Structure 1
Amino acid sequence: MILSPVAPTVAPKIGTIHDPLEMYKSDMYTIAVNLAGLPAISLPVAKDSQGMPIGLQLIGKAFDEQAVFDGALSLEKAVNYTK
């Protein structure tokens, strides 16, 4: 299991980014995982100083989705993230 950020920054506020390349860059940590066909799940784990969510993704071995789900549930319980 690999734990990785979902994006290099927190989510931008709606309407603040108009450049398609900038929007594409926010996916840089998920693209390789998707192209490799690996199971992954992202979940919020904290908030920044402005209240925007910070996400992490769990990446598992090919065809081992259940381990990813189980790991996500454990992480969710451990960080106790609330809205």
Structure 2
Amino acid sequence: MISLPTRKSIGTENLIGQNIVLLRKRKNLKQTDLLAHLQVRGIDINQSALSAIEGQHRKVSDRELLAISDILGVPLEALFSPDNL
């Protein structure tokens, strides 16, 4: 029998998902806003994929990392340690 989780658990595919959420909210951006900015930069990603990144269930490419840090206006290192901002 397959057991289904009762709530969404945090994954282990990346270290920065929760930090992206924190920094995105500090900028008052919704996921849809971040998605639009990513798509303008040629990053083909949908809301499901962004949710998986933020939930640490999907790995992040180097191009995605660079674009996200640029959109959020933070150095790349801030995605790994946002408390230093």
Q: Which structure shows the higher helix fraction?
A: 2
Q: Which structure shows the higher strand fraction?
A: 1
Q: Same fold (TM over 0.5)?
A: no
TM-score by length of 1: 0.25
TM-score by length of 2: 0.25
